[in-house]
């Protein structure tokens, strides 16, 4: 038997995911990934902003009928990582010879987190691949 309270609880949790990147598995096997913009609470229709190309800000708006959704996966929010990347980039820009340990101490985070962010920045080409920051 269908429980209206469970549906409302589910919708409330789903509403928290607005402006978050999600993957929607459709019943036909296709997968659509995009930023959740809106949710129709009655039929669970979703509206996503789907990037046309991953490296561009241009996107399409897609409406997914609730009846065609098999399941939804949500991804971690990118905001914190992006802010951390920006902060570390600024620190490296101001003091190119700063060590990973010094960055971790300034930001009050673990050195392993600094290493992960620096590795990510290198992959993106935002810092020199030869820069090691082990001083």
Strand pairing category for 45-51 and 59-64 = antiparallel
pTM greater than 0.95: no
Confidence of residue 11 (pLDDT cuts 50, 70, 90): confident
27-73: per-residue pLDDT in tens? Answer: 999 999 888 899 998 888 999 988 776 555 667 899 999 999 998 88
Q: How many CA atoms lie within 13 A of 106 on its CB side?
A: 14
Confidence of residue 1 (pLDDT cuts 50, 70, 90): very low
For the domain that residue 47 is a member of, what is the CATH number?
2.30.30.100
Q: Which range, of 6-10, 101-105, 114-118, averages the lowest pLDDT?
A: 6-10
- pLDDT at position 132 over 70: no
Q: Please indicate, yes or no, if residue 63 is contained in any of the structural domains.
A: yes
For the domain that residue 103 is a member of, what is the CATH number?
1.10.10
Confidence of residue 78 (pLDDT cuts 50, 70, 90): very low
Q: Please indicate, yes or no, if residue 129 is contained in any of the structural domains.
A: no
Q: Please indicate, yes or no, if residue 133 is contained in any of the structural domains.
A: no
pLDDT at 8: 80
* Domains in the chain, number: 2
Domain span at residue 96 reads 79-123
- pLDDT at position 129 over 80: no
Asked whether residue 83 falls in the same domain as residue 68, the answer is: no
pLDDT at 82: 58
Asked whether residue 55 falls in the same domain as residue 11, the answer is: yes
């Amino acid at each position: 038997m269908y429980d209206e309270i469970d549906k409302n609880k589910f919708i409330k949790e789903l509403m928290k995911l607005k402006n978050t990147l999600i993957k929607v598995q459709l019943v036909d096997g296709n997968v659509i990934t995009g930023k959740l913009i809106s949710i129709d609470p009655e039929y669970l229709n979703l509206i996503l902003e789907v990037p046309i190309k991953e490296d561009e800000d241009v996107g399409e708006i897609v409406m997914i009928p609730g009846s065609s959704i098999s399941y939804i996966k949500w991804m971690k929010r990118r905001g914190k990582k992006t802010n951390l990347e920006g902060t570390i980039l600024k620190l490296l820009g101001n003091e190119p010879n700063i060590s990973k340990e010094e960055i971790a101490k300034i930001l009050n985070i673990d050195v392993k987190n600094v290493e992960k962010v620096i590795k990510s920045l290198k992959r993106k080409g935002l810092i020199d691949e030869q820069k090691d920051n082990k001083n």
